[in-house]
Chain A
Amino acid sequence: MITFTVNGSSHAFDGDPNMPLLWYLRDEADLTGTKFGCGIAMCGACTVHIDGRPVRSCLTPVASVDGRSVETIETAENHPIGKLVQQAWVEGQVPQCGYCQSGQIMSAVALLKTKPSPTDDDIDAAMSGNICRCATYPRIRAAIHSAAEKLAYEA
Chain B
Amino acid sequence: MKRNSTRHEPHDGFVGLSRRQFLGGMGAALTLAVSLKSGIANAASLASEAAADAFAPNAFIRIDEAGKVTVVSSYLEMGQGTFTGLATLAAEELDVPMRDVSVVGSPADLRYANPILEAVFGRPVQGTGGSTAMAGAWNQMREAAATARQMLVNAAARRWQVEPASLSVTDGVVVHEASGQRIAYRDLLADAAELPVPENVQLKSPDDFRLIGAEQGTPRVDVPAKTNGSAIFTQDKKLPGMLVAVIAHPPKLWGKVQSVDSSQAEAIPGVVAVVEVPGDDKIQGGVAVLAHNTWVARQGRGALKITWDDSQALTVGSEAILSAFRDLAEQPGIVAEARGTLLDDAPEGGTVIEAVYEQPYLAHSAMEPMNCLVDLQGDRCDIYNGEQWHTGDQSAAAEILGFETEQVSIHQLYAGGSFGRRANARSDYVREAVTLARTARDQGIEAPIKLVWMREDDMRATQYRPLTVQKSRMVLDDAGKLLSWHWRIVGQSFMEMPEGAVDDSLVEGAKEMDYDVPNLRVEQHNPTTFPVPVVWLRSVGHTHTAFVGETQIDEAARATGQDPYQFRRSMLGNNPRALAVLDLVAEKSNWDTPLPEGENGERRHRGMALRTSFGTVVAHVAEVTLHTDGSYVVDRVVTAIDCGVAINPDVIRAQMEGGFGFGLSFLRQGIVFEAGSVVQSNFNDYPVMRMNATPQFDVHIVPSSNAPSGVGEPGVPPAAPAVANALAAMTGHAYHSLPLGGSVATS
Contact = CB atoms under 8 A, between A and B. Distances in A.
B228 A76 contact: yes
A138 B653 CA distance: 11
Contacts of A154: none
B2 interface: yes
Interface string B207-221: 000000000000110
Interface in A96-155: 96-102, 105, 123-125, 127-141
B443 to A, nearest CB: 23
B367 A74 contact: no
A76 B229 CA distance: 10
A40 B227 contact: no
B79 A8 contact: no
A130 B78 CA distance: 19
A74 B684 contact: no
B416 A35 contact: yes
B294 A36 contact: yes
Given A39-B455, A97-B78, A138-B697, A131 B690 contact: yes
A97 B295 contact: no
B417 A133 contact: yes
A55 interface: no
Contact of B366 (A31, A101, A128, A133): A133
A89 B219 CA distance: 12
Interface string A3-25: 00011110000011001100100
B159 interface: no
Contact of B229 (A36, A93, A102, A135): A102
B689 to A, nearest CB: 6
Contact of B226 (A74, A77, A98, A129): A98
Contacts of A86: 227-228
Interface residues of B, number: 74
B588 to A, nearest CB: 17
Contacts of B690: 128-131, 137
B682 A42 contact: yes
Contacts of A6: 5
What is the interface of chain A mostly: helix, strand, loop, or mixed?
loop
Nearest to B244: A27
Interface stretch (B100-108, B231-239, B486-494, B608-616): B231-239
Contact of B691 (A20, A45, A102, A140): A140
A95 B2 CA distance: 27
A75 interface: yes
B654 A123 contact: no
A104 to B, nearest CB: 9
Given A78-B2, A123-B691, A97 B232 contact: no
Contacts of B418: 97
B654 A23 contact: no
Contact of A97 (B5, B7, B415): B415
B414 A75 contact: no
Contact of A27 (B219, B230, B294, B654): B294
A33 to B, nearest CB: 2
A17 B702 CA distance: 58
Interface in B339-377: 365-369
A35 B123 CA distance: 38
A43 B683 contact: yes
A111 B294 CA distance: 30
B223 A99 contact: no
Contacts of A125: 692
Given A93-B220, A95-B227, A100-B367, A26 B294 contact: yes
B657 A89 contact: no
B270 A7 contact: no
Interface in A35-71: 35-40, 42-43, 45
A133 B80 CA distance: 12
A69 to B, nearest CB: 9
A137 B661 contact: yes
Given A78-B2, A98-B416, A33 B654 contact: no
Contacts of B650: 93
A32 B232 CA distance: 8
Interface of B: 1-8, 10, 78-81, 219-220, 222-233, 235-236, 238, 244, 269-270, 292-296, 299, 365-369, 414-419, 454-456, 650, 654, 657-662, 664, 682-684, 688-692, 694-697
6 contacts: A27-B293, A32-B232, A34-B229, A78-B1, A96-B79, A125-B692
Interface of A: 6-9, 15-16, 19-20, 23, 26-28, 30-40, 42-43, 45, 72-79, 86, 89-90, 93-102, 105, 123-125, 127-141
